[in-house]
Structure formats: structure tokens, C-alpha cells
Structure 1
Amino acid sequence: MNLSALLQETAKKFSEKPAYYFMGQMSTYAELDDAVQKFASGLEKLGLRQGDHIALLLGNSPHFVISLYGALRLGITVIPVNPIYTADEIGYILKNGDVKAVVALDLAIPLAEKMHSLLPEIKHYIFCETKPDSQIHLEIEKLSVYPKMKSFTNIISSGESSFQGPVLGEEDVAIILYTSGTTGKPKGAMLSHKNLYSNARDVGGYLRINPDDKVVTVLPMFHVFCLTVALNAPLLSGASIVILPKFSPKEVFSLIKDFTATIFAGVPTMYNFLYQYPEGNPADFNSLRLCISGGASLPVALLKNFEKKFNVFISEGYGLSEASPVTCFNPLDRPRKPGSIGTSILRVENKIVDELGQDVPPGHVGELIVRGPNVMKGYYKMPEETAAAIRNGWLHTGDMARMDEEGYFYIVDRKKDLIIVGGYNVYPREVEEVIYNHSDVVEVAVLGVPDPNQGEAVNAYVVSKNPALTKEQVLEYCREHLAKYKVPTTIEFLDELPKNTTGKILRRALKHQLSQKVNH
């Protein structure tokens, strides 16, 4: 089974039900599926075929949804790309990903002109109109890329509702997701139709997503967390998605209230902004039955404060691109454990192993490894990296974790972020959790820095809402709650911490930012 065929089934069952709401527009399932059919047919008329690769440089919009499902229906492999990447970053992915067509907003036309000479393999640039058609043509008809430019609207109008797509194999590659590339060039995780379908099905079942739900889709659609949890799982369940182009606390409060939304999915930074928002009215969240957190560890203090203030339940989960992405969620039918990523979802196995690959006892820290129908086929054109990541059928996540006696997992930290102070292991998250508990702290990131005496030292970078808060006050608080070797050597106050487009705090970007500051 595949996502596009399942959307067809959902459309037959719930034809007149709203599939999505977007900036005053509403589309029924029947209308969405018809647009998907026509887009797939239009792509075929352009000469694209099963197995070709298409890139989506789009934010949250119906364009993304139609392009994704339309390309999949034709058997094309989709490569979602963050549209705010630099030209160099985008160029690398398009070249490495052997892309033949690109779907982007008309705002990206200058980028298409640049790519035209650098990447002659790209045959079509499909632009989604944000400006009047006449204005767009004036802008592009003199460009060298003009013959390759196609209108998204025209692609759909040229397509046929009677389109019959090819037979798709469950092991065929459906999506290639490029990882953020924190350790070098981005790697393309190849996710099959089976990977994506199974994870959407199992997440939807685990979280009991049903046709009565309205899911707030504000996480970036090009990110795997949104793709599965706030797009695929709801649409396969007959739920409605409420699409927000970008995150804004004001808009989230207003949208949840106006649409009586039932599910909100976000990353910890979003929860922090919503919690800190002065005009946030808890009554606006009365319709929510479930909040979902992922993408990074949710500080326990923030989870408890948010739930108390807004009277909602947050289920924290865990995933990674290479696992489509979800492997764990806090269950809805058993006690939720703050600080835990929950238990293994249906059909997915998680376990903790030591450096030799041997199971470690409950309570002990080791590497989290994963096995299931959701695990990727491998990295595109990178057999050595694939062999290093998937060993004996198990995906090695690189995350340090522990499991308790009841099968609940706890992420301790990234393997690469471990700080070793005088031979003692310090996990940044543990220190961050303590500092987050301070009432004046909004955000914190902890890094290890070289130290001539201890090997490494612990540094904390804090965003505070109280200008009068001093470094010594934060250090004193740490001394009360942490072993001596875990207490930061230095506290530095910053106006903000670097984050990616999903709101995840980027320790490596912070480290780079600080090194640049030192060098200058």
C-alpha cells in the first residue's frame, strides 16, 4: 500500500469532508484528490516518469500537499527542500539528488535562473503563483530559463481526472530526505512507500487520530516530523488539517480557537513561545485533546508549566529522518512519564546497546537502536554510510538513552554532544534541564569546551527574561542541583539561541557562532 492510493480511498469514504483549511480556503477530500490526479497527469504530460526525482522548495501550503501526493501517484521520488536554504545548499541537494524537476514559489524564479546554467539536468521549473500571471510573465520571459518554466496552475488544468498511475512497489523509494548535515555534507535518507505508509498508519493508530480531529499543521511540511504526524497520518485517517504558513503564537491561539482544533504538534521551542506569550488565553485551547512534542527533548519544567497553565496533555515522542521518523511516543492508555519519549509504537522495536552492540540492563545508558518497517532503505548513493548506520537490520541512531523497567525510553543526549570532564560523563541535556527550572530562564544550551586541566569544561548559554539575573545567581542555582563536575564553568547571557526552521536549538551552530566571535 502507498500514501497516494490511501488518499484516494479516504477521498471515496469522506468525499465532502474538509481535507484542509488554508488562509480562508477550504478543500474537500474529493477536491484534493482530483487536484492530485490532475497534477500527476500533468507531470506525465511533461515527460516525467516513474523513478524520476522532483524537488519541492515550498513552505506550508496546498501547493505542497498536491505536489507531494501528485508526484507520488506517478511513482516519482519526492525530495522536500527547505526553501530558505542558500543557493549553494539547495544546489548541492538538487545535484546530488539527480533532480529532473523543481516545484517552487514564483519568488524563487531568480534562483531558477541561477540553477539553469549550473544544473542543466533539471528539465522543468514549476512555479506556484503568488503574483498576477501577467506580472510573472513580464519577469521571466527574457530569462534564459524561460523555456523550462511551467505554471503550477497550468499543470493541473492540463491534467486529467481519469489518470491511471503506474503500479507502485512498496519498496520503491517515495521520498529522499536530506539530513541537516551537521557532520559534513547532507545525506539523503531514502524512504520507501512502505516506510512512510507504515509509520503514518501506526502513528495515527497510536495517537487515535480520527475523522473528527482537526490537526494544526504549522511544523514545516518539508520536515519529516510534520510529514508523518501532521500531514500523512491525519489525511489517511480522514481528519482535517488546518495549515498555517509559519509559526506565530498569536496565530496559533487564534486558529485553535476559531477552528476548535483538537491536536497541536510542535517542537519544544514552539511550546516555550506559546507559554511565554503574554496574551495567551488558556480558554483558547479548550478544544485541544492532545498536544504532541518532538524534534528535540522537551524540558520537563516546560512540559509541567505548559500543561498546568493551559490544562492540556502533551505526549512527547521521538523520531529521526532515517526512521520515517517516529519510533516512540508516550502512550495515551497508560501513564505518561515526564522526561520520557515513551514506549515503542506498534511494529517498531527500540533497544539500548553498549559499544559492542550488547543489550544493557534497564537504567543503564547506551546507544538507542531501532528496527521496524519504518527504517529507511539507506542513504542515496552512500553505501558506506548506509552500512555504518544500519547493522544487522538495526538502525543506529547515535542518541544516548536509557530504558526503565516498564519499557519507557529516555534520551540522555546525542553521542557526539557528550562532555567528558576529568573522566566523568556530562550530558548537556541534564544540565539544561536544571537551568530550565530557574524561573527567570527562557532558553538554555550547554556546550563542552576544551579545558587544559579537565579535558573539557561545561559552558551554559542562557536567554533570560529578567535583565537583573546575574551569572553568579545561575551558577549558585546549578551548585544546589548538580554534582560539582557538572556545574558550568561559565554562564553567558545571549539575546537568542540559533535554531533551525523547526525551532530546534542548534548546539553546533552556536559553537560555530561563538568561535567566529572569538576569531574576530
Structure 2
Amino acid sequence: MFFNLGVRDFLDRAELVYGDRVAVVDEPEQPAASWGELTYRQVAQQARGQAAGLDALGVPVGGRVAIVSHNSARMLTSFFGVSGWGRILVPVNFRLAAAEVGYIVEHSGADVLLVDPELRGLLDTVRTKHVFVLGEDDQAVFGNREQPRPWDGDEAATATLNYTSGTTARPKGVQLTHRNLWLNAAVFGLHTTVTDNDVLLHTLPMFHANGWGMPYIVTGLGGRHVVLRKIDGTQILRRIAQHHVTLLCAAPAVVNAALDAARTWDGEIPGRDRVRIVVAGAPPPTRTIERVRAELGWEFIQIYGLTETSPLLTVNRMRTEWAGAPAREQARLLGRAGTAALGVRLSVDDSGEVLARSNHNLDGYWDNPAETARVQEGGWFHTGDGGTLTDGYLTISDRKKDVIISGGENISSIEVEDALSSYPAVREAAVIGIPDEKWGELVTALVVTDGTPVTAEQLITHCRAHLAGYKCPKRVEFLDALPRTATGKVQKFKLREPFWRDRDRQVN
């Protein structure tokens, strides 16, 4: 028998098995009225209301519905109310400028736009057929009590259209199918051991690769969702204590926020020996991993993936074989991207690029067949990341374009950043290559400190204790902050630009 996989499967099971259980605790400080606590039966009712409302608007199966929102119960519901009945959800980064949102809405062909009340200014410039403000227009968006038109389901159909942040060009619309999302969620849940006892704190923006699939798997297994609207380290610790949180997903910047808040926290750190934190977005420094495990007492799990891979490709979690190793060595081992997740195949080509085969890989880029063909050449997804595979473990060395070649030697900026970040006064570091007549490219560090006085020479000397001499920064500059994309990635092209401005190409 063949039976289509679909994202509504997760909500259907939750309603059937856990209908009276609290499903979601909404952010109390929503700019519109908070939904408070909803059971899974109530979430399912709201999702059906949303689907019936789209029926009434005449939005067909395959029609696009864009949503620009901070984390909220309304957005969580939309993952099911839109995609569950055959439409395509377009989760848009709420940090984008109006022109960028307008481009995505136009490029995706969305007929419906849902916006957070805090972002109503978008409506002045972003145009589409139907526009609603979440909270203010809830009756129109979620309140229809007719039964939605049945949809038989098609696991090959696009369920979400997720636009990549794009650091140098227009964002691309990543088409993820019901099959992609279903299998990613199931495998992610398996590797992170999600159960119906879990309480997930939504520290990750839900728009970001659909919350990495956690909105689906935590729902399907009957866990509880706790919504956090805006990131604040102290609030993270408070919510963990208040709601007995067991699980959260985060970029390294969120990890740093929690570590900073813990310094002034009064009493036992919440969640010690209970919380699992799943980290991705950039390889965290070894020192950061040590601190999460020692200072917070949380389990550290690292994953690697991309929006194009739904996102899960690898998982790195503590193993019994490492139990006897010193804490520093355990942290180093956990700093690798990890081993291929179940059902994923990895390879590294002759140029050092990481390639992947997986049921989670994108169907294609929306209205961009040439780029689709390029990234799927040879039946593998080309990640654009450089890395190595050793004993089954993937280590990401760099974005291929970020490799520094100095004196004929390839240097991983991530390795140098890890050494810099182990110095106590360094809060963040980015390493780039700049033109140099003697060496070709000069290893240059851009550093943000915690306010403690430190000199460039001290940092260079520190690196020499950890790295080969040719890898160490030859130049250090101090900044107040590193430029980032809306999803938190450091924009190295902006850091390079002043040094390469007068050159025809970005290598020397």
C-alpha cells in the first residue's frame, strides 16, 4: 500500500490522541490579544477555520499564502491551516525591509498576506489580493466554522516556500514538499528523542526553515509548545523555569544570550540536567560548547543543514564512547557538524564541497530552473560549504568562497575564529582574507569584545598557542558589532568590501 505523507498528519494525530492536552502557550506580550493556552483540539479547530477561510476567498490548492510574523500561536497554527489543505505557506523573515518582503510576495505569487500587527507598515507598500493583520482580523483568518473542502493529499506537492536569506543576491524560493517536511520532522524527532513529555521553547524563529521541523514533530508526538516572541537571555531562563522546558533550538547568538543571562541569574540555572539545546547556523567555538555543558548544565546537540535540506543533514550528540574523555575534548568532538542523519548520504567532491543526498532535499527553486539544475547536478545537492569527512563525521571548514589562501596554504576561517573565541575577552570574531602583496591574502580578524581591555598583539599571541603560525591573524581590528543577515549569519562580504573595493575580483 502507498499512502501520501502530509504535514496535517501531525495535527490529526495530536487531536486524536492528545485533544484535551495543552498544545501551545502563546506569548503573553503579543501586540494583539494573546491566544493564551490552547489545547490540541482548539488548535485543530483554528486550523480548519483557516482552511475554510481560504476556501471562501477562492484560494486554490497550490495557492500561496505569505505570513510575516514573529513567533506566535497564530503562526504555529498556519503551518497546518494553510499547508494541511493543499495551499503553500510562504513564511517570510519579519526582519526584512518592506522592499524585500514585497519582492518575496510578488515573486512567490502569493494571493494572501498575513502580517503581524507590529509590521502593519508593510501594508503601505506591499500589495497583494487579500491582506490581513493577525489578531485584528482573526475572524476572517481563523474564524470560519464551515468544514474546509477535503484535500486528498499529494506528498510530492509543495507545502512551504522558504526564501533563503541571500547575502549577495536576491533570495531564492526553496520549494519543500510534504514528503520533505514529513521525513525531516520524523528523523529530527528521532535523533533528538522527542516524546510527549517534551516542552519546546520556540527560541528559533518559526519562519526559519519552518522552525527546523519542530512545529510538526512536537505536535505529532503531543509535546507542548511555548512561544517566545523576542529573544532575551533572561526571558529564556525564566520561561524554562516557569514551563519546565526540556528542549529548544537556537543559533549560536541565542546560546550566547543565555550564557550572558546566566552570569547574573539568582540561584540554580533553570533546566540543569533536563534541557537539550539543539544548535545550528554556524559551528560554535569549543569554549562555548564547554560553557553550555558546565555553566548551564544543558545537553548540547549540534546539527548541520540548510533551508534547502529542510534542514537536517547531520547530527552530533554525546556518545557513551566519549564518556571518559576530558570535558574539553568532549566539547571539541561535539563541535563537529556530526554524522549523517538517518536516510542521508554525504560526500565531499574533489574541490572540497559537501554534497548530500536525502529525502529532505528541496524539490527546486521557485521559478528558477537553472539554479535548481546547478545545485542538483549529478543527483547530489551541492551545499556550497567546504568540509571534510573523517570516520563518518563531517567537519565544516568554511563556505568555499570564504577559504583564505595565504602563502599558498588554505586556511579555514572557522578554525581561526574558534581559537580567537577561546580568549576570555572575545565575544565574537570573524576572520577574512584581505589583499596582500607578499602573501596573496592576509589573515585578518574582526573582533567584538565583552568590554575587557585587550590588544591585537595579545590575541595574536593567544592564537599562536593554538594554531600553526601561518593560520594566525596578522591583523586585528576591533568592532562594536558584526554585520549579520536577518537570520543571524555574519555577512562577511560586508567585512571584506572595504579591503577589496578597488579590485576586479575577490581573490588575490
TM-score (norm 1): 0.88
Alignment of 1:257-276 (within 5 A): 257-276=241-260
What's the counterpart of residue 496 of structure 2?
511
Residue 318 of structure 1: which of 304, 320, 323 is its match? 304
Equivalent position SS for 1:285: coil
CA contact (8 A) 1:44 1:74 kept: no
Q: Deviations over 1:146-205 (max 9, x none)?
A: xxxxx2333322332x33431121110111111112231111111101000110011011
Match of 2:101 among 83, 86, 90: 90
Residue correspondence of structure 1 range 29-108 to structure 2 within 5 A: 29-108=40-119
1:168 is matched with which residue? Answer: 153
- 3-state secondary structure, aligned to 1:255: helix
Partner of 1:232: 216
Asked if structure 2 preserves the Cα contact closer than 8 Å seen for 1:199 and 1:374, the reply is: yes
The corresponding residue for 2:31 is none
* Match in the other structure for 2:504: none
Provide, for residues 368-390 of structure 1, a one-character-per-residue CA deviation record: whole Å limited to 9, x for no partner: 11111101011111111111100
Supply the distance in 1 between the matched residues of 2:20 and 2:199 (Cα, whole angstroms).
15
- C-alpha separation in 1, matches of 2:157 and 2:209: 18
Match of 2:133 in 1: 127
Asked if structure 1 preserves the Cα contact closer than 8 Å seen for 2:445 and 2:476, the reply is yes
Q: In structure 2, what is the Cα distance between the partners aligned to 1:424 and 1:14?
A: 58
- SS state at 1:158 partner: coil
| DSSP-derived class of the 1:447 partner | strand
Contact kept, 8 Å, 2:102 with 2:125, in 1: the verdict is no
User: Cα gap change, 1:196/1:508 in structure 2, threshold over 3 Å: closer, same or farther?
Assistant: same
For residues 287 and 261 of structure 1, the distance between their equivalents in structure 2, rounded to whole angstroms, comes to 12
Change (3 A) 1:76 1:513: farther
Aligned to 1:425: 410
Give, in whole Å, the separation in 2 of the partners of 1:499 and 1:226: 19
Kindly indicate whether residue 239 of structure 2 is the aligned counterpart of residue 255 of structure 1.
yes
Runs of 4+ in 1 over 6 A off after TM superposition: 513-516
**Structure 1 segment 297-376 matched on structure 2, within 5 A:** 297-331=283-317, 334=320, 335=322, 337-355=333-351, 366-376=352-362
Q: Does 1:201 align with 2:207?
A: no
Q: Structure 1 pair 269/188, CA: closer, same or farther in 2 (3 Å)?
A: same
> Shift in Å at residue 300 of structure 1?
1.0
Partner of 2:169: 184
- Contact (CA 8 Å) 2:55, 2:148: kept in 1 or not? no
User: Contact 2:293 / 2:300 at 8 angstroms: preserved in 1?
Assistant: yes
Matches within 5 A, 1:451-490: 451-490=436-475
CA contact (8 A) 2:388 2:394 kept: yes
Report the Cα distance in structure 2 between the residues aligned to 1:247 and 1:90, rounded to whole angstroms: 22
Shift of 1:497: 1.6
Contact 2:435 2:499 in 1 (8 A): no
**TM-score of the pair, normalised by structure 2:** 0.90
CA shift for structure 1 position 391? 1.8
The answer to whether the 8 A contact 1:264-1:288 is kept is: no
Assess if the C-alpha contact under 8 Å between 1:322 and 1:376 holds in 2. Answer: yes
Amino acid at match of 1:318: Y
Residue 110 (str. 1) matches residue 121 (str. 2): yes
Runs of 5+ consecutive residues of structure 1 not aligned to the other structure: 117-121, 134-150, 356-365
| 8 Å contact kept, 2:318–2:334 | no
**Which runs of 5 or more structure 2 residues have no equivalent in the other structure?**
29-35, 323-329, 502-508
Report how many aligned residue pairs link the two structures. 478
RMSD: 1.9
Relative distance call for 1:264 and 1:106 in structure 2 (3 A) is closer
Query: Contact 1:214 / 1:239 at 8 angstroms: preserved in 2?
Result: yes
In structure 2, the CA distance between the partners of 1:250 and 1:515, relative to structure 1 (3 Å rule), is farther
Distance 2:237 2:259 in 1: 11
User: Secondary structure of the equivalent of 1:221?
Assistant: coil
| Partner residue, 1:223 | 208
Q: Deviations over 1:238-266 (max 9, x none)?
A: 11111100110010010001111111211
Structure 1 residues 105 and 283: alpha-carbon distance in aligned structure 2, compared to 1, 3 A threshold: closer
- Measured after TM superposition, the shift of residue 416 of structure 1 is 1.1
Does 2:282 correspond to 1:296? yes
Conserved in 1, the CA contact under 8 Å of 2:430 and 2:445? yes
Residue 514 of structure 1, CA deviation: 7.8
What residue identity is the alignment partner of 1:377? D
Match of 2:37 among 12, 26, 44: 26
CA contact (8 A) 2:10 2:216 kept: no
Q: Distance in 1 between matches of 2:460 and 2:84?
A: 57
CA gap 1:370/1:105 in 2 versus in 1, 3 angstroms: same
Aligned residue among 413, 427, 443 for 1:442 = 427
- Aligned residue in 1 for 2:227: 243
Shift of 1:473: 0.8
Classify the secondary structure of the residue corresponding to 1:497: coil
Percent pairwise identity = 29
Distance of 1:238 and 1:263 partners within structure 2: 14
Structure 2 CA distance for aligned equivalents of residues 185 and 502 of structure 1:
15
